Amino acid sequence: MKKMMMLLLTLVLVLAITPAAVFAVSPEGEVAQPEEIIYVYDIAGLFTEEQYRNLQEQATSVSNYSQCGVY
């Protein structure tokens, strides 16, 4: 019975801590983001490097403005 209670307590603690890690907020109140998010995927290799960078910058700008990922 003690093992079951410890397991239950551990599970509750893990479930209580997980949302804090998922919804981490920076001191400025913004949601923490990875350094660079890839918004443009050119698997077929159709874009030049410059076109790819321009699209990536535009998608990043729109995503930041709308606070919604634009891919």
Whole-angstrom Cα distance, residue 29 to residue 47? Answer: 36
List the structure tokens of 40: 């443009």
Taking alpha carbons only, the member of 11, 29, 31 closest to residue 21 is 31
Print pLDDT tens along the chain (71 aa).
888 777 666 766 666 666 655 555 555 555 555 578 999 999 999 999 999 999 999 999 999 999 999 88
Question: Which run of H or E residues covers position 11?
Answer: helix 2-22
The amino acid at residue 21 is A
pLDDT at 12: 63
